[in-house]
C-alpha cells in the first residue's frame, strides 16, 4: 500500500464525524498523533469544514489540534499559514431571492459572513439541525441590506419540497443537504473540492498529491478529487462508494488507522 505514498503532500479533513465524533468535541489521541506525524513529514494538514471559524473557536472543537490551513463554510473561506487565499460570496440577486423566500414561507435561515453569523428567527427545524451537529443557535438579527453584504454561506432550514422550490429560484447557487431539516447554500462554482484545488494551486501541487477524509454528502467531491479519498465508518453508503478506502470511526482511531494502513505515517 505504501507505493507512491511519498507523493502525498497535503491532507484534508472534515471536522464533524471525521476529526471528531459527530455531536461532540471528542477526538482520539491517535488523531493528534497522526496530524503531528504528517506535519513532521512535511505534509500540509488542512481542515475543510462547513462550519464558521467563530463557531469552531467558541465551541472549542479543535482545541489541542493545529493545522497548516483552514477552509471554512464548505470552501467559501480559506486560509493557509494565516493568509487568506479563498473568499467566495453568494450572488447578490440570489440573496435577494433567498430573503423573499424566507419571509414568505416562512423559513429560518442563518447568514454567515467572515466575521459574524446571525439568524432571522429560531424554530424547531433550526434547533433540530444545530443540535445534530452539536452547535448552538446563533443570535437573532432581522435581515438588512442582504444583497449588499458579503454573505459567504446561508443555512436554510427547509424540507426537500421547499428546497426544490428555493433552488429553482437561486440560479447562481447550489445546495448541500446535511440534515433532514437543514441545507447549506453556497456559490455554484464553489465547494470543498474547488477549495482543495485552490489550496493546491497556492502550494504549487496537484490534487494527485492529496488525501482527503470525510463522512458527509458535502465531502463527496473532495473525496473524489483527491488522489485518495477516505470515508469514515459512519458515512452514508453513497459517500463510502465515492471513497477509495473506508476506515473506522473517529473514536476508534479512524484517521490514524487509515494513514498507517496506507503507510503514509
CATH, domain 10-87+190-262, list 3.40.50.300, 3.50.50.60, 3.40.50.12140, 3.40.50.1000: 3.40.50.1000
Residue ranges matching CATH 3.40.50.1000 in the chain: 10-87+190-262
pLDDT attached to residue 1: 44
Query: pTM above the 0.85 mark?
Result: yes
Interior/surface letters 228-246, b for 16+ CB within 10 angstroms, e for the rest: bbbbbebbeeebbebbebb
Rounded Cα distance between 235 and 83, Å, is 32
Residue ranges matching CATH 3.30.1240.10 in the chain: 92-187
Question: Each residue of 20-56: pLDDT tens digit?
Answer: 998 788 999 999 999 999 999 999 999 999 999 998 9
Class of CATH domain 92-187 = alpha beta
Closest CA to 228 of 253, 207, 248, 249: 207
pLDDT surpasses 80 at 3: no
pLDDT surpasses 60 at 2: no
pLDDT surpasses 60 at 66: yes
Rounded to the nearest 10 degrees, how much is the dihedral formed by the CA atoms of 15, 19, 24, 28? Answer: -170
Amino acid at each position: 500500500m505504501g507505493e507512491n505514498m511519498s507523493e502525498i503532500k497535503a491532507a484534508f479533513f472534515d471536522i464533524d464525524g471525521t476529526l471528531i465524533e459527530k455531536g461532540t468535541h471528542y477526538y482520539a489521541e491517535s488523531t493528534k498523533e497522526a496530524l503531528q506525524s504528517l506535519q513532521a513529514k512535511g505534509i500540509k494538514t488542512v481542515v475543510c469544514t462547513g462550519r464558521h471559524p467563530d463557531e469552531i473557536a467558541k465551541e472549542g472543537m479543535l482545541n489541542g489540534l493545529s493545522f497548516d490551513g483552514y477552509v471554512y463554510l464548505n470552501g467559501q473561506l480559506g486560509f493557509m499559514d494565516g493568509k487568506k487565499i479563498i473568499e467566495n460570496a453568494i450572488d447578490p440577486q440570489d440573496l435577494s431571492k433567498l430573503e423573499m423566500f424566507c419571509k414568505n414561507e416562512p423559513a429560518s435561515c442563518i447568514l454567515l459572513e467572515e466575521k459574524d453569523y446571525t439568524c432571522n428567527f429560531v424554530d424547531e427545524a433550526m434547533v433540530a439541525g444545530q443540535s445534530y451537529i452539536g452547535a448552538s443557535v446563533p443570535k437573532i438579527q432581522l435581515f438588512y441590506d442582504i444583497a449588499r453584504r458579503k454573505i459567504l454561506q446561508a443555512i436554510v432550514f427547509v424540507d426537500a419540497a421547499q428546497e426544490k422550490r428555493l433552488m429553482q429560484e437561486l440560479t447562481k447557487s447550489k445546495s448541500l443537504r446535511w440534515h433532514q431539516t437543514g441545507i447549506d447554500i453556497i456559490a455554484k462554482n464553489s465547494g470543498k473540492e474547488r477549495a482543495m484545488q485552490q489550496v493546491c494551486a497556492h502550494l504549487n501541487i496537484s490534487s494527485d498529491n492529496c488525501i482527503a477524509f470525510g463522512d458527509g454528502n458535502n465531502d463527496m467531491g473532495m473525496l473524489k478529487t483527491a488522489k485518495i479519498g477516505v470515508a469514515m465508518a459512519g458515512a452514508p453508503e453513497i459517500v463510502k462508494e465515492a471513497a477509495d478506502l473506508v476506515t473506522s470511526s473517529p473514536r476508534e482511531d479512524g484517521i490514524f488507522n487509515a494513514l498507517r494502513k496506507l503507510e503514509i505515517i
